Structure 1
Amino acid sequence: MIVGEDDRSLDDRPDEVTSPASGRRRNLLWFRRELRIHDQPLFEALDPGRDEVVAAWVLDPRDHLDVVQDFSRAGNHRLRFLLETVRALEGALQRSGVRLVVRIGSPEDVLPDLCRDLAIDRLCFVEAPGTEERSIERKLEHRASVAIKSLPPETLFQIDDPRGFARDLPEVFSSFRRTAERGLALAPSRPTPSRLLPLATHASFDFGSVPEVGAFGLDDEPSDPRAVLGFEGGEPAGLDRLRDWMFSGDHLKDYKVTRNGMLGGEYSSKFSPWIALGALSPRLVAEETFRYERERVANDSTYWLRFELFWREYFRLYLLKHGRTLFRAAGPSAMPMTWSGNERRFDAWRSGATGIPLIDANMRELRASGYMSNRGRQLVASFLAKNLGVDWRWGARWFEHCLIDYCPAANWGNWAYAAGVGADPRGFRGFDIVKQARRYDADGAYVAHWLPELQELSGSKRHAPWLAGGPAPIVDPARSLEVARRRWESAEDFCRRNP
């Protein structure tokens, strides 16, 4: 949503409509980014004794298939993971007695039609923090001829009014973190009903089916064997990962030490793909960290995983606060930076051909697997926006295309932060790629893993192949970072002179 627009909750509409013949209420539950059964907010809206239920999931072509620049908003890896997640949801709902209707189209058109065809009394959904999503919600309010029950955006903390809370959100994460840890309680996960009342439908009703990736003209490529993990979409896979990584593998106790790794499956939790689609509840993850502390050990690492969840919460609230300004070149901070539209540089960056091995290896991993380490994301974002000077929004869109854990708030919030136009825009931030390479890939194992042409070089030489006769990078890392610093200082000086 955008602060200042009509914030009126859709829940202001009456929701006590019932079908007179049975005394029961016919509910359509619209699943969006909460594609799970455990800790399901939609179930809170139901009266188990009177509410009959059918579920719906709508693939919106505008979110996934529209072409931005020269690529679709969702690439094959992201779309495959999403469709696997929906199939898993379909099975879980069916075991609870509920059918899932699958449609492709604009939700504001599809859902009113479904409500009419199924004689629905009430449409239920969870509001989203994104601006496009909020626009759809407003259109539904005007087009649906049934009662609407909208639930507030999901939060990790117990926040009764997320929109109201977001209006006063600090611009600096550390301030939010202190406020949250002192004055907010983590919200408990919700109970899972053992059974739901299925809504009776005509035998000829077409529920639809979850499509394959190939139906959209994309190649359903197998997972690259070099990938850190064979990610499988869906709630069962997400719960398995939570159990295996945290408890069976006992990795949580070392998380803060290992989290900046780039090779292997266990250096970080890698819960983010399931959390991004709501196949794994952040509330449950937080609860499990406390259980781990009770049963095993409590240390900086066990806290640090919750700390990462706080960042996710912050960016969701940040999007609620700033709305469309988050997607502008100057960002919420209105920093008057000058960005390049250099397509040659952008193409080199996204294809992993900048000549800087640590950047290229991360970008090739992203393209081949749909995933990249947190350290890698920080480095490649800084390099595009700072060293190459390219419009940071191009990078955010490419991440949207590639990442299986794409989340609008986290993706755009992190990119704006990296570009210096988002949260906490204090001072110039840019990574010294050479120093980062020495610190996080000293032996060059990671870059050689994704850039086999470097395997003949040894150790640190892998990070500067041009010194061994290889081609020069498209920019000099040190000089380009200094140019970026001067560009930042010029913009900062302009802001001081024009408050």
Structure 2
Amino acid sequence: MSDKTILVWFRNDLRIHDNEILSEAVRRADKVLPVYVFDPFYFKANSAGATKTGSFRTRFLIESVADLRASLRQIGADLLIRTGDPAEVLVQLAEEYQVSEVYHHREVAPDETTISEKVEEALWKKQLNLKHFIGHTMYHKEDLPFPIKDIPDSFITFKKKVERDSTVRPVVTTPEQVIIPEINDAGELPTLHDLGVPEPVDDPRAGEKINGGETEALKRMQQYLSNADVRNQPNSSGLGPWLAVGCISPRQVYWEVLNYQKEHHLQNADPLMLELLWRDYFRFMFKKHGQKFFRSEGFGSAPDIADNQDELFERWKNGQTGEPYIDAAMHQLNATGYISNYARQAVAAYLIKDLQVDWTKGALYFEEKLIDYSPASNWGNWAFLAGVGNDTKSNRFFNAAKPSQSDNAYINTWLPAIGNTLPIA
């Protein structure tokens, strides 16, 4: 009888801790074939020359995949790396390694679900099954107190019911060893040049570089916890980049925070819990409502837009509005791929309310630039701020992150030559 081999298709779950598809494959199969596919779809440029995945996020992704390969090698395995259409690559590998089944984590945004559907169709033609797992949320979908179609659109109602009636599952066991088939060609990690993406230029004002990978995610988690007893105001965890590509799971973060609080007798009021719940909420809303989040009118009617919105948008994205804080934040975003939650809300509100530019332009720009871009959170946040989301009345929960430094210090750092900006009439 031949060995059973399960192919584990890594996507936005670049970790070995609390990774259900990896743990289940190890438990159910004789051999496991870990695979990551760099899909050219995510690195193509549009007619304006903007790439779907910007330089900083692409570098972060490459670093995260490299770290995953290193982690797998430490437990006796390896990571096959390929570049191409997943529907073609995975079928080819499944045939080459006589795979019995393919595991992956289910996504919710249209681009990602379309790719999954193409892979599933291609595998089905070869009489192979693509098994879906749910591993991107703190609360598991099956543990919610309501089916997806009946999830409350109001975040406040969602929060109350989930926190009252649901529990967060324990993390799954990390495999101590992964047995893989004999691999002929594990594949080379592509460079940014290989993917057609320009090299990012690191700005010295950014301070410590944001490095990709599970190793760094676990380090940052411990740094966050070490400051838990000295935080006196809500702030962002800074874990967004690693959560976005799954270098650490929301569930693991939840239990790390909870256990730390118990051990150090701290109150269970960490702002990170609210941050994770918002992430869950937007993912479930995407599952429920889908494409509505990508339309200018959203769930209502499109906001009024200015006649010269293209010109206004160019000034906004280049940090040339004449509003010091807005321009400083946009300079930081362009120079690093990252700004705080507070800054994101500020620049988005300014684009939508003050400049009257179509909010989807801003959402698309964030999609390119943000190192921690996640479709549901990004588009859900923008629709919320534009007043066309499925819930527009949860501001007291939404504005959880506040600046950790004075506006003047921030502006002086990122906008030293304020006179170079062009005030908008």
**Normalised by the size of structure 1, how large is the TM-score?**
0.78
Unaligned 5+ segments in structure 1 are: 1-19, 260-267, 430-436, 455-464, 476-499
Give the drift of 1:245: 2.5
Task: Return the match for 2:233 from 257, 261, 266.
Answer: 257
Matched residue type, 1:182? R
Give the drift of 1:423: 3.4
Compared CA separation, residues 140 and 219, structure 1 to 2 (3 A)? closer
2:57 corresponds to which residue? 78
Question: Per-residue displacement from partner, 1:138-166 (whole Å, max 9, x unpaired)?
Answer: 22222111232221353311432779732
Question: Per-residue displacement from partner, 1:85-106 (whole Å, max 9, x unpaired)?
Answer: 0000011112222221111222
Give the drift of 1:238: 0.6
Residue 123 (structure 1) aligned with residue 90 (structure 2): no
> Any conservation in 2 of the 1:275–1:282 contact (CA below 8 Å)?
yes
How do 1:361-372 residues align onto structure 2 when only pairs under 5 Å count? 361-372=328-339
1:102 corresponds to which residue? 81
* CA distance in structure 1 between the aligned counterparts of 2:232 and 2:294, rounded to whole angstroms: 31
Residue 277 (structure 1) aligned with residue 229 (structure 2): no
Residue 311 (structure 1) aligned with residue 290 (structure 2): no
Identity of aligned residues (%): 35
Task: Return the match for 2:165 from 149, 159, 183.
Answer: 183
How do 1:131-280 residues align onto structure 2 when only pairs under 5 Å count? 131-144=110-123, 145=126, 146-160=128-142, 165-201=147-183, 205-247=184-226, 251-255=227-231, 257=233, 259=235, 268-280=236-248
Matched residue type, 2:64? T
Matched residue type, 1:273? P
Question: What SS does structure 1 have at the residue aligned with 2:5?
Answer: strand
* CA distance in structure 1 between the aligned counterparts of 2:142 and 2:357, rounded to whole angstroms: 40
Question: What SS does structure 1 have at the residue aligned with 2:190?
Answer: coil
Give the drift of 1:66: 3.7
* CA distance in structure 2 between the aligned counterparts of 1:385 and 1:288, rounded to whole angstroms: 37
Compared CA separation, residues 296 and 212, structure 1 to 2 (3 A)? same
* CA distance in structure 2 between the aligned counterparts of 1:193 and 1:237, rounded to whole angstroms: 19
* CA distance in structure 2 between the aligned counterparts of 1:450 and 1:59, rounded to whole angstroms: 34
2:368 corresponds to which residue? 401
Instruction: Specify which structure has the bigger relative contact order, considering alpha-carbon pairs within 8 angstroms and separated by 6 or more residues.
Output: 2
Matched residue type, 1:126? H
Compared CA separation, residues 164 and 27, structure 1 to 2 (3 A)? farther
1:286 corresponds to which residue? 254
> Any conservation in 1 of the 2:213–2:247 contact (CA below 8 Å)?
yes
Give the drift of 1:118: 2.0
* CA distance in structure 1 between the aligned counterparts of 2:344 and 2:279, rounded to whole angstroms: 15
* CA distance in structure 1 between the aligned counterparts of 2:88 and 2:113, rounded to whole angstroms: 15
> Any conservation in 2 of the 1:35–1:278 contact (CA below 8 Å)?
yes
Give the drift of 1:407: 0.5
Matched residue type, 1:147? N
Task: Return the match for 2:424 from 455, 474, 486.
Answer: 474
* CA distance in structure 2 between the aligned counterparts of 1:416 and 1:189, rounded to whole angstroms: 32
2:411 corresponds to which residue? 447
Unaligned 5+ segments in structure 2 are: 397-401
* Higher deviation after alignment, 115-124 or 183-192: 115-124
Question: Per-residue displacement from partner, 1:144-189 (whole Å, max 9, x unpaired)?
Answer: 1123222135331143277973211211111110011100101211
Question: Per-residue displacement from partner, 1:324-379 (whole Å, max 9, x unpaired)?
Answer: 11111111x13243335722111111111111110000001001011001100000
1:484 corresponds to which residue? none
Question: What SS does structure 2 have at the residue aligned with 1:474?
Answer: coil
* CA distance in structure 2 between the aligned counterparts of 1:164 and 1:138, rounded to whole angstroms: 26
Residue 91 (structure 1) aligned with residue 55 (structure 2): no
Question: Per-residue displacement from partner, 1:174-225 (whole Å, max 9, x unpaired)?
Answer: 1110011100101211110100111223xxx332111122323433234322
Give the drift of 1:137: 1.9
Count of residues paired in the alignment: 417
> Any conservation in 1 of the 2:43–2:195 contact (CA below 8 Å)?
no
Give the drift of 1:234: 0.3
> Any conservation in 2 of the 1:162–1:317 contact (CA below 8 Å)?
no
* CA distance in structure 2 between the aligned counterparts of 1:309 and 1:471, rounded to whole angstroms: 36
